[in-house]
Amino acid sequence: MGRLWTFGQKLSAGFASMVVLVLIAAAGAIYALDHVAERNDRVIAVEARNLILAGELRVAAEWKASALRGYLLLRDDDNLGTFRTAREQVQDVLTRIRAQPLDADSARLLDDVERTESAHQGACEPLIVERQATGTAESTGRAFQERALPKMKELRQQIETFAKHQERQLEQGSRDAAAAAARAKTALIALVLLAVLVAVGLALALSRALGHQIGSAVQHVQSSSSELQTAANQQASGTREQSSAMSEITTTISELLATSRQIAESAQRVARIAEDTAKAARAGELTVGKSGEQIGAIKRQVDLIVAHMLDLGRKSQQIGGILEIVNELAEQTNILAINATIEAAGAGEAGRRFAVVADEIRKLADRVGGSTKEIRGLIEEIRAAVNTTVMTTEAGTKAVDTGTRQFLEVAVVFKQIVSSVGTTTDAAREIELSTKQQATAIEQVNIAIANVAQATRETEASAGQTLQTASQLTGLSKDLLRLVQPQADA
């Protein structure tokens, strides 16, 4: 259960135990002091006072005897009065002694004193009467020595005995008081030693318990301090990196701001250029329309050329057909001429002239055949050229058609360009406006980043202070651990 007590409870319990011990010691001391004081008071109030009263009794008895002698010598009233006063004082002292607490011996001795004093008074009274009755001093002196002086001596001896007895009582009382004081001192010393032992035990137990508890807590604090120090180091490092990053971000934001302004200016220029482009596109649209009309005229001319070329091709084919007939005739003529030549050779000299004619006919036929071949080649070239021209023209027609379509598409595209340029103009203006807003936002971001950078620097400083505090806390925990667990320092 002691483990569940708090540090304050344990200290309070220890202090409460010490207070109880102190109270016990104080009570013992008070009791001892009271006992010693009581003994001393008794010694002072009883034995010393009895001794003093014994002294006063001796003085009063001697005063009474002295006054009696004076009266017996002088027979004056002063001594008589003094005698009477001394007698009363002796009685008073006896009364006061009787009032004191007396032991049996003292009471017996005091009874003896009172009895002797009464006997002495009985012996004195006749002497006073005798002196008053004309007796002389000598006679009275003799009577005094015979009757009163022995009593006086006896009284003086008894008073002395009483005083000795009181003195012994005083000494006995003093010794008893000293013994009581010594016992009280011993008891107090024992109590103090006991209290010291208990206090040492409590201190050891408390020190051990608190040392264990505080040591464990201090070790936790030390471990936590180390972790805090590590965390502070990491925080400081992270904060420095963050600060560096913030600086880079600030630079980047500044560049971004400059870029945004450039973009805004570029967007403004783009808007102006887009307006010019829109004007040019509208002009281009008109030009394309005119070009489309011209292309339509070209297409019609090309179609006409194609028709003429096709007609030329047909005519060439007709020429080729006629030429085939001519060629056939030439070949047949050639064959007939050669056969005639052969026949002429077979006819001998009679056919020689015919052979010459036939050979000429063959040559003519050969020339006709060669010419027809050339014409056929030319016709073929014409047909090829016509075909090529037709194909080219058809390709041109297709190209014109394609061009027409493309011009139409170009016209559409120009319209789209005009529309797109308008859109571009609007977009460029929106970009300009947005970029200006962006620049404003970037400036605000820049300010925010500057604030964040300032906060980061403050955080860095705070991290440094935290690190310093963690280091101090680690040192303090080590010192504290060294204080509560010295062996832990080894």
Partner 1 sequence: MGESEITDRSADDAAVVDGVVAPLALIVVVGIRRCAIPVRFAAEILRPLPVQPLGGVPGYVRGLSVIRGSPVPVVDLNLLIGDDGNEHAAERLAVIDVGERRVALAVDAVLGLQRLDAHLVGRLPPLLHGVGSDVVEAIGVADARLLMVLRAACLVPDEVWSALTAGREAP
Residues that bind partner 1 (CB under 8 A): 331, 335, 337-339, 341-342, 345-346, 348, 355, 359, 362
Q: Which is nearer to partner 1, 67 or 337 (CB)?
A: 337
CA distance 344 to 142: 257
Are the C-beta atoms of 215 and 481 separated by less than 8 Å? yes
Closest CB 327 distance from partner 1, rounded Å? 12
The pair of three-digit structure tokens given for residue 300, joined into one six-digit string: 């019609």
Are the C-beta atoms of 232 and 470 separated by less than 8 Å? yes
Closest CB 353 distance from partner 1, rounded Å? 15
Closest CB 345 distance from partner 1, rounded Å? 5
Q: Which of 165, 184, 191, 168 is nearest to 39 (CA)?
A: 184
Closest CB 386 distance from partner 1, rounded Å? 28
Closest CB 384 distance from partner 1, rounded Å? 23
Q: Which of 230, 246, 229 is nearest to 457 (CA)?
A: 246
Q: Which residues of 200-223 are buried (b: 16+ CB within 10 A; e: fewer)?
A: eebeeebeebbbebbbebbbebbe
* Cα-based distances in Å from 305 to 313, 317, 386, 390, 404: 12, 18, 11, 8, 18
Q: Which is nearer to partner 1, 317 or 339 (CB)?
A: 339
Closest CB 362 distance from partner 1, rounded Å? 6
CA distance 7 to 419: 87
Q: Which of 305, 326, 330 is nearest to 386 (CA)?
A: 305
Q: Which of 375, 286, 39, 317 is nearest to 176 (CA)?
A: 39
Q: Which of 302, 272, 286, 317 is nearest to 401 (CA)?
A: 302
Q: Which is nearer to partner 1, 22 or 326 (CB)?
A: 326
Closest CB 341 distance from partner 1, rounded Å? 5
Q: Which is nearer to partner 1, 18 or 336 (CB)?
A: 336
Closest CB 335 distance from partner 1, rounded Å? 5
Closest CB 348 distance from partner 1, rounded Å? 5
Q: Which is nearer to partner 1, 347 or 441 (CB)?
A: 347
Q: Which is nearer to partner 1, 251 or 332 (CB)?
A: 332
Q: Which is nearer to partner 1, 249 or 357 (CB)?
A: 357
Q: Which is nearer to partner 1, 205 or 345 (CB)?
A: 345
Q: Which of 211, 232, 236, 238 is nearest to 473 (CA)?
A: 232
Helical packing angle, 149-347 and 104-132, nearest 10° = 150
Q: Which of 197, 201, 186, 192 is nearest to 22 (CA)?
A: 192
Q: Which is nearer to partner 1, 184 or 365 (CB)?
A: 365
